[in-house]
């Protein structure tokens, strides 16, 4: 089955700086890669996703890049704000198969 | 009303108790899921239901018993749990199997 590894497990940045979270996957058939944000006391919420036919996708201050050859994808958050503090999860799946999640990155944005 | 509602939000139970977690989705989705979230570990898929029929049981111990009476409601019945079962249990739904997941806020379970 698929194996998704996520790094780092914790990340602390100053407000206004950029944050990058990286994930690798093992199954070259995986073709959908979502990122979830989980705020304290809440469930994960989809913030951005990318499919394997695209190399990069942006939505305001967040972007995701995908390198299919190396089997890794990354979440980029620019101009970080305190409200970006949360746990971020990456995931991978192939078509209608189940999602495989990374172990999460706790992002702390210091004001 | 939020899309996926879970109750109770917090539950403390002894190892001999029987309790149930409830999930309700108001999104008109056809698939529902139970996930277990433990600290610093990936989300673990437990059960999958599609049109109220169970399609996946991810080798979950029998002390966890799911029930899906209809496409909008999902229960997780708990009995004779172990302390290592303490975790956040997340319910999710999707329009179809493998579609975008919408999560509830979770039920924090502590087993004493």
The answer, for B90 touching chain A at a CB cutoff of 8 Å, is yes
Q: How far apart are CA B67 and CA B89, in angstroms?
A: 15
Q: What is the pLDDT of residue A98?
A: 87
Average pLDDT across chain B, whole number: 94
Q: What is the pLDDT of residue B1?
A: 52
Closest CA to B52 of B33, B25, B31: B31
Confidence of residue A85 (pLDDT cuts 50, 70, 90): very high
Confidence of residue B10 (pLDDT cuts 50, 70, 90): very high
In order, the DSSP letters of chain B are --SEEEE-SEEEE-TT-EEEEEEEE-S--SEEEEEEE-TTS--EEEEEEETTEEEEE-S--TTEEEEEEETTEEEEEEES--GGG-EEEEEEEESSTTS--EE---EEEEE-
The answer, for B46 touching chain A at a CB cutoff of 8 Å, is no
Residue A88 pLDDT > 70, yes or no?
yes
Closest CA to B95 of B25, B37, B2, B22: B25
The answer, for A1 touching chain B at a CB cutoff of 8 Å, is no
Residue A76 pLDDT > 60, yes or no?
yes
Residue B40 pLDDT > 90, yes or no?
no
Region B5-31 average pLDDT: 95
Tens digit of pLDDT for each residue in B62-91? 999 999 999 999 999 999 999 999 999 999
* Chain centroid to CA A36: 7
Q: Tell me the nearest-neighbour CA distance from B47 into chain A, angstroms.
A: 11
């Amino acid at each position: 089955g698929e194996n998704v590894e996520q790094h780092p497990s914790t990340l602390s940045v100053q407000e206004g700086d950029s944050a990058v979270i990286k994930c690798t996957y093992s199954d070259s058939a995986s073709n959908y890669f979502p990122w979830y944000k989980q705020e304290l006391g809440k469930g994960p919420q989809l913030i951005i996703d990318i499919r394997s036919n695209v190399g990069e996708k942006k939505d305001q201050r967040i972007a995701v890049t995908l390198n299919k050859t190396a089997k890794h994808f990354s979440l980029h958050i620019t101009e970080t704000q305190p409200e970006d503090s949360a746990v971020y999860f990456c995931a991978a799946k192939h078509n209608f198969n189940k999602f495989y999640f990374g172990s999460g990155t706790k992002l702390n944005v210091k004001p | 009303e939020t899309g996926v509602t879970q109750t109770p939000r917090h539950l403390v139970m002894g190892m001999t108790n029987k309790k149930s977690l409830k999930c309700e989705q108001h999104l008109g989705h056809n698939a529902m899921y139970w996930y277990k979230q433990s600290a610093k570990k990936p989300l673990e898929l437990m059960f999958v239901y599609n049109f109220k029929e169970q399609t996946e049981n991810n080798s979950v111990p029998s002390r966890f018993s799911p029930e899906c009476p209809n496409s909008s409601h999902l229960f997780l019945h708990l009995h004779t749990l172990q302390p290592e079962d303490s975790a956040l249990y997340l319910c999710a739904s999707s329009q179809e199997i493998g579609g975008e997941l919408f999560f509830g806020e979770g039920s924090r379970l502590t087993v004493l």
